[in-house]
């Protein structure tokens, strides 16, 4: 399961090795052990641009997920055989959320990574309240199993 991680954030330190291990554990937990995953850490300005461009929302957000399997057609699936997609996380937004929730930045980043990967797997909390509850339960199960978070 290749994981490609890149950070475009220099001012805020976080444990990239831990996040890569967490990403592997999350992929195993959701049954995607052979899937390829991209993870990009960005600042608020870049995240705002991505959110505006791809979701039409002119504000920053904490995490965006870009699923590759949804983009595949029968004619292109052989070109991207097992690419799950990309998760983009705003580190400044994660920092603010971690402070508000009284948890570490690394814990917040793991939570956002779980959230983003579940989006890549087809979960969508914006679809309905029932789907939001389903996604939230799955997030908690994964967090408990991989890092022991409550």
pLDDT digits (tens, 9 = 90+) for 107-125: 999 999 999 999 999 898 9
**Structure-token pair, residue 81:** 């055989």
Instruction: Please count the structural domains in the chain.
Output: 1
- CATH number of the CATH domain containing 82: 3.40.390.30
Give the structural domain span for 104: 3-147
pLDDT digits (tens, 9 = 90+) for 61-77: 999 999 987 544 444 44
With a CB cutoff of 8 Å and minimum separation 6, the contacts of 20 are 3, 5, 39
Identify whether the C-beta of residue 1 lies closer than 8 Å to the C-beta of residue 35.
yes
Q: Whole-angstrom Cα distance, residue 32 to residue 82?
A: 9
The 8 Å CB, 24+ separation contacts for 4-7 are 4/36, 4/37, 4/38, 4/39, 5/38, 5/39, 5/40, 5/41, 6/38, 6/39, 6/40, 6/41, 7/40, 7/41, 7/91
- pLDDT at res. 34: 85
């Amino acid at each position: 399961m290749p994981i490609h991680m890149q950070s475009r954030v220099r001012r805020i330190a976080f444990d990239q090795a831990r996040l890569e291990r967490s990403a592997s554990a999350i992929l195993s937990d959701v049954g995607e052990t052979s899937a390829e995953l991209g993870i990009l850490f960005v600042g608020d300005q870049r995240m705002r641009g991505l959110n505006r461009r791809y979701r039409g929302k002119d504000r920053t957000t904490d995490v965006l997920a870009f699923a590759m399997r949804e983009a595949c057609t029968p004619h292109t699936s052989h070109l991207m055989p097992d690419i799950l997609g990309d998760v983009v996380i705003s580190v400044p937004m994660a920092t603010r959320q971690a402070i508000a929730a009284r948890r570490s930045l690394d814990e917040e980043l793991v939570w956002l990574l779980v959230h983003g990967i579940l989006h890549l797997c087809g979960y969508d909390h914006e679809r309905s309240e029932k789907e939001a509850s389903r996604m939230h339960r799955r997030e908690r199960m994964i967090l408990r199993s991989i890092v022991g978070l409550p």
